[in-house]
Amino acid sequence: MSAPGGDTPVLLITGASTGIGAATARRAVEDGWRVALAARSEERLRELADELGGSESALAHRCDVTTFEDQEALVRATIEHFGRLDAVFANAGFGAARGFLKESVEHWREMVETNVLGVAFTIRAVLPRLRDAGGGHFVLTGSIAGRRPLPGSLYSATKHAVTAMAESLRQEIRSDMPEAAIRVTLVSPGMVDTPFFDNRPEDALEGDDVARAVMYALSQPERVDVNEVLLRPVRQAG
């Protein structure tokens, strides 16, 4: 059976069930992309895929990003369903209360594995496909917290790691895969009003604000590599 959509590009999104990931999926389909939606909540993914037009435009696939086998299966399923993979948005992640005497060590471990190792696994699962295809685009969700240390914030440390990972990946591609037109973008938002917070913040960015930044980077001519997009709410000082 031929893949639906033919030459329409395909964007894979982790952490796609809510917040920035779901908003980006909506923007991507609106802009003419097909999307592979990944998260641990399969029910929410299926609801979003139905909203976006069903299997012709959206694939829902459960994935725990901390498990490399899940990520490999996700990439295979995307290519089997759509026949191609053009870009990936490594967006899965969550936070923790500030303070090295707060949160459980189990919460810390899951956060570090998701925010750091999960992104690395996404890169490892997708990079051979984009290399062999001769091009593509990685977008990683960073944070303002990944640009400066925050008091007692292990979350900040995980986003510093993602910031370094984005540039490390870009340099590896340029050094080891010079013929591959693979781009790397780090999207670093300030405070965003998403389910990330128990108490929803005021005067924050919305998920769609970040989604439009992602689509801006993806929409640039092939010769342009937008390395980082930094965006804050107007009233955020730091």
Residue pLDDT, tens place only, 63-104: 999 999 999 999 999 999 999 999 999 999 999 999 999 999
pLDDT score of 191: 86
Nearest-angstrom CA–CA distance, 232 and 204: 8
Nearest-angstrom CA–CA distance, 131 and 228: 21
**Secondary structure (DSSP) of 64-112:** -TT-HHHHHHHHHHHHHHHS---EEEE-------SSTTSS-HHHHHHHH
Q: Which domains does the chain have, with CATH numbers?
A: 10-231 (3.40.50.720)
Backbone dihedral angles phi then psi of residue 86, each to the nearest 5 degrees: -110, -30
Section 182-194 average pLDDT:
92
Section 147-173 average pLDDT:
95
pLDDT score of 202: 74
Please check whether residue 122 is in contact with residue 65, taking contact to mean a CB–CB distance below 8 angstroms: yes
pLDDT digits (tens, 9 = 90+) for 195-208: 655 566 678 899 99
Which residues, in sequence order, are CB contacts of 107 under 8 Å at separation 6+?
A: 96
In this prediction the pTM is 0.92
Tell me: pLDDT of 215 over 90: yes
pLDDT score of 1: 31
Section 141-156 average pLDDT:
92
Average pLDDT, the chain: 93
Task: Quote the percentage of the chain above a pLDDT of 90.
Answer: 83
Is residue 216 part of the annotated active site? The answer reads no
Tell me: pLDDT of 3 over 90: no
pLDDT band at 7 (very low <50, low <70, confident <90, very high): confident
Tell me: pLDDT of 2 over 50: no
Pairing of strands 181-189, 192-193: unpaired
Which one from 33, 82, 89, 155 is the annotated catalytic residue?
155
pLDDT score of 196: 54
